[in-house]
Amino acid sequence: MGSLRVISNRLITQDLFALTLERASVSFQPGDCVALANPALDSRPYSMASGTGEDGLRFYIRRMSGGAVSAWLATRQPGDTVDVSPPFGWFRPAQSGPDVAARVFIATGTGVAPFLSALRSDPDCRPLALLYGARVLADVVELPYIAERCPLTLAISRENAPPHHHGHVTDLLDRLPPQPPGTHYYMCGLNAMVDAVGAVLTARGVPFTHLHREVFFNQAPPPPAP
């Protein structure tokens, strides 16, 4: 693990921020994560949202209540340093080849990060659609850029934000136009979303090998009924 200097730390909402670290000699592929650690060596994995040709490593991070790492990262200032692991991962939304002729991206919250990295890294990465769910419209990051690069549909779950869908990203699956045979689906975000979308697509006959999953956050199960 090495240390990288903070270039900027921009607050987006009360609990969402964009942290950019110097690139140094870090080499990664879209979809890769690194573990960021606080001085107590508590660490959490975060996926790069920056392109492979950019000078910095950008992360979209939600400050979690009681989160030892996210709360500490939220206070970092330019010039501070953060301990960073080597990149790792297996989620590859920008992969190319004869077996991936078409793709659909599906994200919730900061799970949009690897898709941003894919779009910024490869000008030929043109998903058929990106379905993007957020709690409130203010949580949506890089909206103009994404809308310019690919067909985008938003689902906002906790407020009405016309003209966007008021509900969950799973609702948007019925709005997808017919997909060509062999389409691959890349899902990243809350575990409940990834599981629900996977179940719907499997029921529609999408092969398991065409479903690619990356869970950014595991939602606690509801308490048992009394």
pLDDT in tens, 171-209: 999 988 888 888 999 999 999 999 999 999 999 999 999
pLDDT number for residue 98: 64
Spatial neighbors of 148 by CB under 8 A, at least 6 apart, are none
Confidence (pTM): 0.92
pLDDT at 219 (0 to 100)? 54
Residue 90 has a CB neighbour count (10 Å cut-off) of 10
Q: How far is CA 221 from the centre of its chain?
A: 22
Question: What are the Cα distances from residue 137, in Å, to 55, 197, 204?
Answer: 28, 21, 30
Share above pLDDT 70 across residues of the chain, in percent, rounded to a whole number? 93
Residue 101 has what pLDDT? 73
pLDDT at 181: 86
